[in-house]
Amino acid sequence: MSIITLCTDFGTVDGYAASMKGVILGINPSANIVDITHEIPRQGISFAAFVLNGYYRYFPKGTIHIVVVDPGVGGQRYDMVVKTEDYVFVGPDNGVFSYIFMKQSVLCYKINIEAVVSNTFHGRDVFAPAAAKLSLKWDRAILGRQIKRPVMINIPESVVDINSVTGEIIHIDRFGNLITNISSDMISDKKILTVEVKKIKINNMKKAYEQNKESMPGALINSFGMLEIAVSSDSACDKLGAHIGDKVRVLWR
């Protein structure tokens, strides 16, 4: 049974994601469609890129990941299939796959769909049928010419100095946890003095959320290996008035 995951900004209520599921099952009735989310903020390309990077690798090899956040649908951007060693990604060439490109070698192809398609809903008319067909077999006929330079969004990188690293908040999750672009390998062997964010200084690293008993902001390495600012049983985002892009600095001895 082939697994096809769906990540979109369609919501569920208008039936757009539903149509995609119908199209997939019409082509491959035994496809195992897995809802990731349909609640990506409207047209949030970089948001989707970040979220995809968090879940894709947990699926079995061979999984096909569809991502549709597509403000440019019907315009110049390409419909794209991305092939890595372990996975296939299907969606618009607008940067949603940027994190995938950073970490591994990929092959990117334009999608050939011969049927008449709408100009406003390639999720249903291009990405769903392409993914469903590829879940049946790796058919080069639906792949067009290679895309040599797929679109990359700007992914902010943290900057390491002699006794500090400066990064920023790149995602805020449902719990109000502030996820940074400072990875554990940058700081795990250091004797941390302070983590600075929004003029607050956090003086020691925690291991888990619950340890922040005092409802003070704490810093920890999260489940994706990134530095995260959290408040136990509360929203660090609300507490600190934080936003994506706010600077975070870690100092060590």
Query: Which residues would be at the binding site for a copy of itself (CB under 8 A)?
Result: 1, 3, 5, 7, 9-16, 18-19, 21-23, 25-26, 29-30, 32-43, 51-52, 54-60, 63, 71-76, 118-121, 124-125, 171, 173-175, 207-211, 220, 222-223, 228, 232-233
State the DSSP code for 205: B
State the DSSP code for 234: B
Assigned token pair, 56: 């894709």
Instruction: Give the other-Cβ count within 10 Å of 97's Cβ.
Output: 29
Q: Which is nearer to a copy of itself, 87 or 143 (CB)?
A: 87
Q: Which is nearer to a copy of itself, 35 or 146 (CB)?
A: 35
What is the nearest approach in angstroms of a copy of itself to the Cβ of residue 239? 14
Residue 196's H or E segment, with its range, is strand 192-197
Q: Which is nearer to a copy of itself, 51 or 250 (CB)?
A: 51
Q: Which is nearer to a copy of itself, 140 or 174 (CB)?
A: 174
What is the nearest approach in angstroms of a copy of itself to the Cβ of residue 47? 8
**AA identity, residue 49:** A
- Asked whether the CA dihedral 24, 131, 73, 53 is positive or negative, the reply is positive
What is the nearest approach in angstroms of a copy of itself to the Cβ of residue 27? 9
Question: How far, in Å, CA of 212 to CA of 111, rounded?
Answer: 49
Q: Which is nearer to a copy of itself, 58 or 214 (CB)?
A: 58
Q: Which is nearer to a copy of itself, 37 or 164 (CB)?
A: 37
Question: How far, in Å, CA of 239 to CA of 91, rounded?
Answer: 36
Instruction: Give the other-Cβ count within 10 Å of 71's Cβ.
Output: 13
| Nearest C-alpha neighbor of 165 from the set 224, 227, 221 | 227
Q: Taking a C-beta distance cutoff of 8 angstroms, is the pair 228, 147 a contact?
A: no
What is the nearest approach in angstroms of a copy of itself to the Cβ of residue 9? 8
Q: Is 87 left (phi over 0), alpha (psi -120 to 50) or beta?
A: beta
What is the nearest approach in angstroms of a copy of itself to the Cβ of residue 66? 13
What is the nearest approach in angstroms of a copy of itself to the Cβ of residue 191? 20
What is the nearest approach in angstroms of a copy of itself to the Cβ of residue 161? 27
State the DSSP code for 93: S
| Nearest C-alpha neighbor of 84 from the set 94, 95, 97 | 97
